[in-house]
């Protein structure tokens, strides 16, 4: 699969892939069928998944159903996020909810401002809200581990705790009113048994994988940073 530090807004697509049960059990991922690229706006899916961008400069995923629009993370500037939504002909004020997976700035940067400006719900766990100083925000909805959240008229979100670098990070399982499931997993240090069991039920899985192990080990980073990136609290 092509790696990009930042997906250009002109080439936003939804990717659907199948992950083998064996690879899940072995705690690594291998694409075992070809990646199917579905242009944004395709009527073949009841739930559309659009990656507005992924990388250290920002992360955000748009989930769209017949009646709802939900953002998973809002790590770009407000101006850039709005520009990318407009490329998709989605009005920012049509975003029902913004769920933030964890407090790191490349996932949370403009979430509070966007929620306030657009009139959207801001959704996070307690630890993220504390670190971002969001407590007391009128639009804030807090969730607990493994809690299902109504994020829009026809979409719910289930949050799964995952390990990542001093952050109460969560993976997100989205479910539409037809029972179709899609997983959004970012900044994942390792695959847990809990996450694996939920991923097996999904028809679409998006997993961020943003470093190459061999290049990391042969690179110039100090050993301490190499261990941090490749360890349980790092990235796949």
Instruction: For residue 227, give Cα distances in angstroms to 18, 41, 162, 190, 236.
Output: 30, 41, 18, 13, 12
The packing angle between helices 78-87 and 111-118, to 10°, is 60
Contacts of residues 116-122 at CB distance under 8 Å and 24 or more positions apart, as own/partner, are 117/78, 117/92, 118/92, 118/93, 119/93, 120/71, 120/95, 120/96, 121/96, 121/97, 121/151, 122/97, 122/98
CA distance 38 to 93: 25
pLDDT of residue 218: 82
pLDDT of residue 97: 98
pLDDT of residue 83: 94
- Helix, strand, coil % (nearest 5) of the chain? 25, 30, 45
Domain regions of the chain by residue span: 9-230
- Residue segments in the chain with a per-residue pLDDT below the cut of 50: 1-44, 236
CA distance 206 to 35: 11
Query: How many CB atoms within 10 Å of residue 43?
Result: 6
97-144 pLDDT, tens per residue? Answer: 999 998 989 999 999 999 999 999 999 999 999 999 998 888 999 998
pLDDT of residue 6: 32
pLDDT of residue 99: 97
User: 64: closest CA among 18, 132, 12?
Assistant: 12
pLDDT of residue 191: 79
Residue whose tokens read 């042969």: 218
Q: What are phi and psi of 46, to 5 degrees?
A: -80, -20
pLDDT of residue 42: 44
pLDDT of residue 23: 37
pLDDT of residue 208: 75
Spatial contact of 148 and 158, defined as CB atoms under 8 Å apart: yes
Strands (E), the chain: 13-16, 36-39, 48-53, 60-64, 69-72, 97-99, 121-125, 140-143, 148-152, 155-161, 170-176, 181-185, 204-207
pLDDT of residue 221: 79
pLDDT of residue 167: 63
Indicate the CATH number for domain 9-230.
3.60.15.10
Going by C-beta distance under 8 Å and a sequence separation of 6 or more, which residues neighbour residue 235? Answer: 164, 187, 188, 189, 208, 209, 210, 211, 229
């Amino acid at each position: 699969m092509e790696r990009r530090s930042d997906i250009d807004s002109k080439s936003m697509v939804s990717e659907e892939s199948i992950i083998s049960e064996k690879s899940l059990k072995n705690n690594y991922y291998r694409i075992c069928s070809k990646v199917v690229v579905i242009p944004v706006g395709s009527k073949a899916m009841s739930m559309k998944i659009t990656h507005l961008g992924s990388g250290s400069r920002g992360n955000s995923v748009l989930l769209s159903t017949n009646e709802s629009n939900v953002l998973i993370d809002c790590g770009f500037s407000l101006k850039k996020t709005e520009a990318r939504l407009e490329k998709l002909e989605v009005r920012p004020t049509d975003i029902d909810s913004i769920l933030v997976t964890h407090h790191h700035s490349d996932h949370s940067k403009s979430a509070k401002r966007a929620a306030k400006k657009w009139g959207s719900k801001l959704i996070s766990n307690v630890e993220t809200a504390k670190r971002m100083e969001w407590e007391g925000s009128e639009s804030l909805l807090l969730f607990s581990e493994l809690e299902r959240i109504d994020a829009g008229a026809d979409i719910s979100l289930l949050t799964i705790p995952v390990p990542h670098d001093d952050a109460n990070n969560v993976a997100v399982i989205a479910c539409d009113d037809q029972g179709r499931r899609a997983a959004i997993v970012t900044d994942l240090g390792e695959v847990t048994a809990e996450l694996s069991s939920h991923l097996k039920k999904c028809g679409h899985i998006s997993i961020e994988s943003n470093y190459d192990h061999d290049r990391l080990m042969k690179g110039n980073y100090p050993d301490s940073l190499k261990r941090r990136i490749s360890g349980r609290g790092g990235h796949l």
